[in-house]
Each structure stands twice: as structure tokens, then as C-alpha cells.
A and B are shown apart, each in its own frame.
Chain A
Amino acid sequence: MATRVVKEHVQESIYIATDSARKRAMKENIKGYLFISPFVVGFLAFTLIPILVSLYLSFTKYNLFSAPQWIGLENYKKMFTADPRYWQSLKVTLIYVFAGVPLRLAFALLIAAILNTASRAVGLYRSLFYLPSLIGGSVAVAIMWRNIFGDKGIINLLLELLGIPSVRWFGDPTAALWMLIFLSVWQFGSSMLIFLAGLKGIPKSYYEAASVDGANGWHKFFKITLPMLSPVILFNAVMQTIGAFMTFVPAFIISKGTGGPLDGTLLYSLYLFLQGFEFFNMGYAAAMAWIMLIIVGVLTAIIFATSKFWVHYESEGGR
């Protein structure tokens, strides 16, 4: 009898406890969603709905003024089979990304490793090398770049000084594309800062132990620095690849919005912009955006998938 009463009592208090726990959890849920509500609303309004609209538009012909007209896969078909400018823009973008990003990362790593060896004045150098990254995305710098690569610009003066014949950067599509790649490499500063922070995190004792074992600078760099830094390099490679794919301002300014000469600087974003907002082929532009999304997604997946061959995570122990 007594036990039954106790039992009932316990049962009751469990009900009360779970009930109040449920209420508390409910309250927590409401609070959580209240705080993140700007993101939820923004995500739906400015990302998810636009993405779905964009998918729909990619199957239509739409010029903003008359109603979208369903044409099935026509845009994609045209893109791949009947639009040489599309292939040209894809080609220059891939060259831009796969020449620019590795060069920039290598450069950033090299400078970071050099700065990491000295303790004095690193702060000053760090700031100076970061400056190009800081201003690199601006129109002012694109205008500057356009002018230093001009026929009588300082780059040609420098080449002359070195005994190399001057280059007509705006006369040749390949040279013009390299002008853009140099601009991207020049902005190695932010990656350098991230690498410097990574380098500081590598315990000095590793290097000391290696020295005791008779390792030279190269050995230390390839056996300690590079593996220890590989997660940071991975993250940077992913973010920079995506960023490079979206490059717009330099190509727009340097080619004065045309992508010239001979479509040599017609980066994907620029061509997409021209299709959408110069020729008002909104459906075609949406289809281009979707292919871009797929390419960026695939590239990211490849970088992550191959990471196990070159990324070293501390927790896995030495490999």
C-alpha cells in the first residue's frame, strides 16, 4: 500500500518533470528561433526562393518585360552546343582559377615562411604585404592595374629594363588574361596572414627535434611545416577557388565591361552579367548560374575528397 502511494507519487512527479522539461525545451526552441530568425527569414527570402526561381527560369526564355516562356532544356543545349562565347568564358575562367589560386597560395606560403623565420619587424612586413589584398577588390586598383600594364606603363618599362621586349597587354587575349592572373596573385596577403597564424601554431619542439636528427631547412619545410599546415591550406584552397570563380570587378573594369580583347578576359561572372543585364537573356543567365553552382560544388567536393591524401590532421597522429 505504502509502496503504491510512493509509486504513484513518483509517477506523478515524473509526469510533472517531463512536462516542465518539455515546456522548457519548447521555450528554448522558441528562444533559439527568435535569435536566428533574421537568418531563417533572410535565407528563405534572399537565398532559397531565388535559387528555386533561378532553377525555373533556367528552363525559360525571359527578358524581364514579358512573361517567362517555357523552353525546356533549350538554354542548356544552346550553352553547350551553340555558344562559342560560353566555352570561351569557361576556358578563361578555368585558366584564371587554376593558374591564379595555386600561384597565389604558393606565394602566400613562401612569404609567410620567410616572415616566420625572423622575429623582428614581422608586424610591419605583414601589414605591407597585406595591403594589396586589402585594396585589391576595388575599382581604384583595377584602374591602376589597367594603367601600369598599358603600352607605356611601368610593367613594360620594367621589362625593357630587363631587356625583354615590351608586351601589348591589351592587344593579345592571353596576355590580357595573365594581367588578371597577376592581379589575383598580387593579392596574396590575406592567405599569407592565415598561413602565418598557422605557422605560429606549430610547436617549436618539432623543429628542434628535427634539427637534432640532422634535418635541413627543406626537410623541415616538407616534413613538418607543409603537413602541419595542410588543413589550413585546404580551407584556403576551397575558399579561394570559389572566390576566384566569382571574380567580376577586375575583368569588368580592365576590359571596360566587354571581356575583351577577343573575349580574353571574359570571366564567367562577367559573361553571366552581360547575358542577364546587357542582352536581357535572364533565362540563359540563370542556366549559366546553375552550371556555375554545379562546377563550384564539384570542385569543392574534389578538393575535400582528395584531402585525405595531402591533409594531415593532428588528432590522427603523425603519418
Chain B
Amino acid sequence: MRIKSVKWWTYHILVGGFAILMLYPVIWLLMSSFKESNAIFVTAKSLIPAPFILDNFAEGWKGIGGNSFGVFIKNTAVLVIITLIGQVISSSLIAFGFARLEFKGKALWFGLMMVTLMLPYEVVMVPQYIIFSKLGWLNSIKPIAVPAYFGHPFFIFLLVQFIRTIPRELDEAATIDGCNTFNIFYKIILPLIKPALATAAIFSFYWTWDSLLGPVLYLNSPAKYTVSMALNMFLSNETVSNWGAMFAMSVVTLVPVFAIFFIFQRYVVEGISTSGLKG
């Protein structure tokens, strides 16, 4: 028994210690955001801010170029919500089609979907930009939000996998009861795939919240910037004095990500484990 408990302690000290080591940079970032800007690197060895100040948050929240950080958060939230709704609704319709309906050319379209899953975005980046600029969509969120309404291959794949685990007898019983195909989707399948929809919604949030390339390409006026671009702007204006504000706002942008992870952990972990989705 004693030997076992020594083993237990060694295991937890090693694994736990390693976990803390891995997360140390994040802890350091958080603690530094409460330090005075000019003390961050002088006192980098110590985690505890002395004095503990909130000025960085006040300073960072003022934002850049006359737009407060709240504006950037609002812009990002709007983009996230519009994109998320589009991706989840369209992907679930498409996934139902692939998982449950028989039609000519299904294998071909499913194969094409899997190919787009692996297609580097860079290949379509330039022509998409040209097309969207011809449409007059530059400096708006349309080029980022509109494609979301045509499905996202990762989510389609995830949902197809999930729908396939639902017994077909349910559909058949509903057909006998006079349900049409859309109602089978809406009343039978949709309520049963809620966990997978939650996973898709969470990842949609993460990817849009973090994305930088799309906003850098398509948003030009600072009043429309997302949080990623705002942080990038902090960085390009980096001077000795505003590290604190930049760190503080970095922390602010990470808060929703952490919050959603800890609330919906189960969906995130299961989503990755079962589909091989990258996070």
C-alpha cells in the first residue's frame, strides 16, 4: 500500500508539474497584465505583481484610433454569431442529405466535400479576393460571413458521422406516421444530434473568434476591426510603455475562449476525440 502511494505521488508530481510547466507562459501572461508596464520584464522572474494594478486594462480598453476595445469585441461577436448560425444550419442540412438520402452522384459529392476538407485556403484566397472585390464586398464582413451559409466541410463530416449512429428505424417509423423528409430531419434527427451541433457551434466560435487572415484581407477601417486585428494593431504600435495594455487585452480576448471551454468541455473533448477535428 505504501509503495503504491509513493508511486501515486510521483506520478502526480511529475504529470502535474509538467502541466504547470506547459501552462506557465499563459499564467505569466495573465500575471504580467497586472504589473506596471515598465516592470514586466524587470520582474519577469516573479509571478506575483507588486504592486497589483488594473491600469493596463483601463488603458487597453481605450483601444486604438478612437475605437474602444469594446467596439472590437462587439464587431467580433457579431461576426461570430452570423457565421456560427450559417455554418451550423447549412452543415446540418447537408449532413442529413449525405447521411440519410439516396441520390445519384452522392459518392462524388461526398468525395468532393472530403477534398475541400484538405484543400489549403491559400489556393482559393487570391481568386476569392478578386471575386469579392468585383462584387464590391471589400471592407465588409460579407466575404467572411456569406460563405458560412454554404456549409463547412469539417462540420458536415462531424455531423454525418453522428447521424450515421442514429438507427434508421426511427426515420422509417416516422415515414409510416406520415412524416415527410424535411420533418424527419427537423423533428427526428435534429433533436438527436444536439451534442454534435453543440460541438460544431463551439468550434465555429473558436475559429471565427481567433481568425486573422480573413479580417486582415477584408476589413480596412479600424471601426470594423475584430479583436485579432486590434491586437495586431497594438503590436505594430508596440512601444516600451504599452506592453501592459497589450498583455491585458490579450488576456481579455482569451477569457471567452477559456470560459466556453470550461462550460462545454464535454462537447469539445468528445468532438475532437470522435472526429479527429483539430482544435
Given A121-B12, A144-B29, A289-B120, A32:B276 Cβ within 8 A? no
A46-B147, A130-B279 known; A64-B120 Cβ under 8 A: no
How many residues on chain A are close to B (CB under 8 Å)? 95
Question: Which one of A144, A147, A276 contacts B126 once the chains associate, using CB atoms below 8 Å?
Answer: A276
Q: Which of A212-251 contact B (CB under 8 A)?
A: 232, 235-236, 238-240, 242-243, 245-246, 248-249
B241 CB within 8 Å of chain A: no
Q: Are A138 and B279 in contact (CB-based, < 8 A)? A: no
Whether a CB of chain A sits under 8 angstroms from the CB of B128 is yes
**B206: contacting residue among A28, A134, A256, CB under 8 A:** A134
Residues of A within 8 A of B276 (CB): 194, 232, 235-236, 239
**Given A47-B119, A140-B251, A296-B120, are A54 and B127 neighbors across the interface (CB < 8 Å)?**
yes
Known: A45-B150, A53-B130. A289 touches B269 (CB 8 A): no
- Beyond A32-B103, A118-B11, whether A47 also contacts B44 by CB under 8 A is no
A35–B251 contact, CB under 8 A?
no
Cross-chain contact A47 with B124 (CB below 8 angstroms): yes
CA distance A170 to B51 in the complex (A): 30
Q: Give Cα A17 to B257, complex, Å.
A: 57
How long is the Cα–Cα vector from A130 to B270 in the complex, in angstroms? 12
Contact call B26/A57, Cβ cutoff below 8 A = no
Q: Which A residues are closer than 8 A to B by beta carbons?
A: 28-36, 38-43, 45-47, 49-51, 53-54, 57, 64, 114-115, 118, 121, 125-135, 137-141, 143-148, 150, 152-154, 157, 186, 189-190, 193-194, 196-197, 232, 235-236, 238-240, 242-243, 245-246, 248-249, 252-253, 256-257, 268-269, 272-273, 276-277, 282, 285-286, 288-290, 292-293, 296, 300
Q: A51-B124, A54-B127 are in contact. Are A189 and B26 (CB under 8 A)?
A: no
Partner of A46 from B90, B126, B150, B210 at Cβ < 8 Å: B150
6 A-B pairs within 8 Å (CB atoms) are namely: A39-B90, A57-B127, A127-B265, A133-B279, A134-B279, A148-B28
Kindly state the separation between the CA atoms of A118 and B185 in the bound complex, as whole angstroms. Answer: 42
B residues at A contact (CB < 8 Å): 11-12, 15-16, 19, 22-26, 28-29, 41-42, 44-45, 90, 93-94, 96-98, 101-104, 106, 109, 112-113, 116, 118-131, 133, 147, 149-151, 156, 181, 185, 206-207, 209-210, 212-213, 216-217, 227-228, 231-232, 234-236, 243, 246-247, 250-251, 253-254, 257-258, 261, 265, 268-269, 272-274, 276-279
Do the beta carbons of A285 and B126 come within 8 Å of each other?
yes
Contact B123 A292 (CB under 8 A): yes
Residue in A134, A143, A289 whose beta carbon sits within 8 Å of that of B122 in the complex: A289
- Besides A51-B123, A289-B120, 15 other CB < 8 A contacts? A30-B103, A32-B102, A43-B109, A50-B131, A64-B133, A118-B11, A132-B23, A143-B234, A143-B250, A190-B278, A232-B276, A236-B276, A242-B120, A256-B235, A257-B236
